[in-house]
Structure 1
Amino acid sequence: MSRQAISAPDATAVGPYSHGIRARGDVVFLSGQTPLDSATGKLVVGDIKDQVRQCLGNLGAVLAAANLTFDDVVKCNVFLVDMADFPALNEVYASHFREPFPARTTIGVASLPLGARVEIEMVAIAHGV
């Protein structure tokens, strides 16, 4: 199986991984993004909505680097440190997608890298590739 790495200048990697991998020509796996500001390399300051917006902004940059949009996303996995943030997550998340929404799993976790409160990963399908 061939793998093509996808890198986005507006997303930050804090370990030995690719922002995304295109496999078999049409399936794109996007690594989990935390709310890191690529300009500063630090977590965004603000509430959970600000952190979700930054995660989705980072993922949007990776999608764009793969010539994709949020409309191409078929599956999301969301990791939250505090499940009380679930309603705020949904509010911001819904503003980035339209129906039919991607399949999604949201998991409560004990901690995330660099003290983030949220991390989001995606799978997208590149139509017509």
Structure 2
Amino acid sequence: MTVTRSIRTPIMHRVVEAGPLVFVGGTIADDTSVGMGAQTENILAKIEGYLREVGLGRKAIVSATIFVTDLSQKKEMDAVWTAFFGENLPTRATVGVADLGGGALIEVVVTATKE
């Protein structure tokens, strides 16, 4: 199996392709001073851009793990999430965490497929 790594950061590659699977590492919003909905919009746009760099789009996302610091704001995130994916919703888990650092309210990890 060929493994291809793209978009290097100081601590990881943002995108790792392994066979037909494409993994996008934990992504937070650029502006963490805004609310849960705006952070979610920014994160999803960033993930879509990362996938575009390897020739994929949002429909290729098959699974997501979402970490949030305040589960009471989940409905705000859900509204943005369902608007972004429409009928192509991936499987997902939303996990409550104590802190993501730097004011981040949400971090998203996704797996996509090239097939």
Same-fold call, TM cutoff 0.5: yes
Residue 100 of structure 1: how far off its partner (Å): 4.2
Contact 2:59–2:88 (8 Å) recurs in 1: no
Residue of 4, 9, 14 corresponding to 1:19: 14
List 4+ stretches of structure 1 deviating above 2 A: none
State the distance in 2 between where 1:57 and 1:113 align: 21
Question: Aligned residue pairs: how many?
Answer: 115
Deviations 1:62-103 (A, max 9, x none): 111111111010001100000011100100001111324110
State the distance in 2 between where 1:62 and 1:83 align: 27
3-state secondary structure, aligned to 2:17:
strand
TM-score w.r.t. the length of structure 2 is 0.92
Question: Structure 1 stretches of 5 or more lacking a match?
Answer: 37-42
TM-score w.r.t. the length of structure 1 is 0.82
Equivalent residues in 2 for 1:1-129, closer than 5 Å: 1-7=1-7, 13=9, 15-24=10-19, 26-36=20-30, 43-127=31-115
Contact 1:71–1:98 (8 Å) recurs in 2: no
State the distance in 1 between where 2:91 and 2:109 align: 12
Question: Structure 2 stretches of 5 or more lacking a match?
Answer: none
State the distance in 2 between where 1:100 and 1:59 align: 15
Residue 121 of structure 1: how far off its partner (Å): 0.8
Deviations 1:35-59 (A, max 9, x none): 02xxxxxx34321111111111111
- RMSD (Å) for aligned C-alpha atoms: 1.6
Contact 2:41–2:80 (8 Å) recurs in 1: yes
